[in-house]
Amino acid sequence: MSIYEIRDMAIEIDGKQLVEGVNIAVEAGQCTAIIGASGSGKSLSCLTPFGLTPGVARGSITLDGIDLIQADAHQMRDARSRLTGFVFQQPLTALTPHLTIGAQLQEAAAQAGPPRSSRHELAQRLERVGLSRADERLDQFPHRLSGGERQRVMIAAAIAHEPKLLIADEPTSALDASLRGEIMALLDELRLERGLAMLLVSHDLASVEGHADQLIVMDQGRVVESGPTASLITKPQKEYTKRLMAASARLDEPAPQLQEVGDILLEAEAVAVTFPRPGWRRGKIKAVTDIGLHVREGEALAIVGGSGSGKSTLGKAIAGIGPLTSGTIRWQGQPLPERRARTVAMRALIQPVFQDPVASLDPQWKVRDIVAEPIKHLQPEILRKDRDAMVLKALEDVELGEDYLSRMPTSLSGGQAQRVAIARAIVASPRLLVLDEATSALDPLVGSSILQLLRKLQQTKNLSIIFITHDIASARRLCHRIVVLDEGAVVETGDMDLVIRNPQAVTTQKLIAAS
């Protein structure tokens, strides 16, 4: 008898059926993981039984003998407060900003009714989830903690009342690659130590395969396939599962065939970027120090590092959209001036693509105008008629049709929006694209199709690419060489496969372990 069991569940919101035929079972001390792309109904299936979404669930749902479908408000609160703990995706926003860590942990510990915990007990709970200086942190507000620390606090709060079921909705997706493994290991440890039943939700197969006992693959509100993790991964039955497996980049897959590279196109030498400290404090923050790198014609270079490593700052300085404090950037041997002094022709050479595709498109503009904008500024001499043809060509290049011309960004999916952003970047025929985490916000299937698109564009247009990412496995599918950054400095660089096979720097080893 499972501790938590869902049979034939359907969920509707405003009369629209979004999920149907879902069966989930979680045993004490075991982990069941739901895998699916965004919009597959995986989070909905997890949170709706507890009344935490606007959806209404039907079917049969029992948690430790309580029927959650029939439960009245009182029983539902009891199911939430006594039996279940929740860890959510966004540690940055999931904690109440104006209450101290101690106050929130106290509330969590007392939610099932036991007397107030002493300060010492609270500090012990924080230590248990791996937080140092626990006593000091009790008095801190959430914004003083890093994302990983906050997620540890969330976990401490989720298990403080000794629940039987832990529901973790994308607990590591918002975290740095190197932190993900640590947080998953902590969840495993706590699960085994307390015999917790755990229901894990993720879009990323690779991040759960070593942790889940049972796997459920969802797509478009239905269960595609489910079963024990090991057999499902080795012998997937359904086409969708196979595609999903193929989409998540793995380091043990065969190396891709990349195209030949030409002469050195861009060269950066002793690049440094410093920012003044915020507020009235003195001194500077050194975001990037003394970095040298080069990109050849037709070559893709991966700049890899954790968050705060300075990789985005470096990318912006190269693309001429961010500050450059000192150092030189040369284009085919000629120095490129700092960003404000670059001519229109120089700007046209290097174009950026950003992480969040929807946020990087103006929501008030049509796709036609978004893609046409670089031509208007970079090649103002081009006539309107020719411009329209160029826009259409760029959309075709990113595999979008004419019917996208008059769409608005809000009507696009993440993958479509990123294709539009790439069309905007290539429309004025640049020689170098700087992609900042361009696939990180996308589902694995969509992200891998964007990577394929980039490879195709690189080959047909002999484009050079700087691919900034935290994910070495994805970078390997596209890039010839790799530069690993840590704390604003290069710690390792070289041929992609050589570095992966024999990483020297600790940072590189950590990033590879996390992939």
Instruction: Please count the residues of this chain forming the interface with another protein, following the rule CB under 8 A.
Output: 31
Select the residue interacting with another protein from 38, 81, 124, 274 (CB under 8 A): 81
Using CB under 8 A as the binding rule, whether residue 94 contacts another protein is answered as yes
Segment interacting with another protein (CB under 8 A) among 70-78, 327-335, 353-361, 414-422: 70-78
**CA atoms within 13 A of residue 237's CA, in its CB half-sphere:** 11
For another protein, the closer of residues 115 and 401 by Cβ is 115
Give the C-alpha separation, 275 to 325, whole Å. Answer: 9
Query: CB of 278: closest distance to another protein in angstroms?
Result: 5
Residue 132 in 3-state DSSP?
coil
Give the C-alpha separation, 363 to 181, whole Å. Answer: 36
Q: Report residue 403 as tokens.
A: 């019917």
For another protein, the closer of residues 108 and 265 by Cβ is 108
For another protein, the closer of residues 43 and 214 by Cβ is 43
Query: CB of 98: closest distance to another protein in angstroms?
Result: 5
For another protein, the closer of residues 52 and 233 by Cβ is 52
Secondary element (H or E) of residue 436? strand 432-436
Segment 146-205, which members bind another protein (CB under 8 A)? 154, 157
For another protein, the closer of residues 85 and 305 by Cβ is 85
Segment 270-289, which members bind another protein (CB under 8 A)? 278-280
One-letter amino acid for residue 323 of the chain: P
Segment interacting with another protein (CB under 8 A) among 81-89, 287-295, 296-304, 433-441: 81-89
Whether 485 contacts 303, CB under 8 Å: yes
Select the residue interacting with another protein from 6, 43, 49, 80 (CB under 8 A): 80
Query: CB of 91: closest distance to another protein in angstroms?
Result: 9
Give the C-alpha separation, 10 to 219, whole Å. Answer: 14
Place of tokens 């080893």: 509
Segment 18-57, which members bind another protein (CB under 8 A)? 50-52
Query: CB of 271: closest distance to another protein in angstroms?
Result: 27
Select the residue interacting with another protein from 31, 44, 88, 287 (CB under 8 A): 88
Query: CB of 54: closest distance to another protein in angstroms?
Result: 11
Select the residue interacting with another protein from 2, 58, 77, 510 (CB under 8 A): 77
Residue 482 in 3-state DSSP?
strand
What is the CB neighbour count within 10 angstroms for residue 279? 6
Rounded to 10 deg, the angle between the 147-159 and 101-110 helix axes is 20
SS (H, E, C) 232-253: HHHCCCCHHHHHHHHHCCCCCC
Per-residue interface string for the shown chain with another protein, residues 234-273, x marking contact by CB under 8 A: ----------------------------------------
Segment 97-156, which members bind another protein (CB under 8 A)? 97-99, 107-108, 111, 141, 143, 154
Query: CB of 32: closest distance to another protein in angstroms?
Result: 19
Whether 482 contacts 494, CB under 8 Å: yes
For another protein, the closer of residues 156 and 463 by Cβ is 156
The residues, any chain, with a CB within 8 Å of residue 432's CB and separated by 6 or more, are 265, 266, 295, 349, 350, 351, 463, 464, 465, 466
Among residues 202, 185, 191, which one has the least CA distance to residue 28?
191
Among residues 59, 157, 153, which one has the least CA distance to residue 108?
157
Segment 443-462, which members bind another protein (CB under 8 A)? none
Phi/psi region, residue 76 (left: phi>0; alpha: psi -120 to 50; beta: rest), is: alpha
Segment interacting with another protein (CB under 8 A) among 77-85, 194-202, 219-227, 289-297: 77-85
Using CB under 8 A as the binding rule, whether residue 292 contacts another protein is answered as no
The residues, any chain, with a CB within 8 Å of residue 185's CB and separated by 6 or more, are none
Using CB under 8 A as the binding rule, whether residue 78 contacts another protein is answered as yes
Site for another protein, rule CB under 8 A: 50-52, 76-82, 84, 86, 88, 90, 93-99, 107-108, 111, 141, 143, 154, 157, 278-280
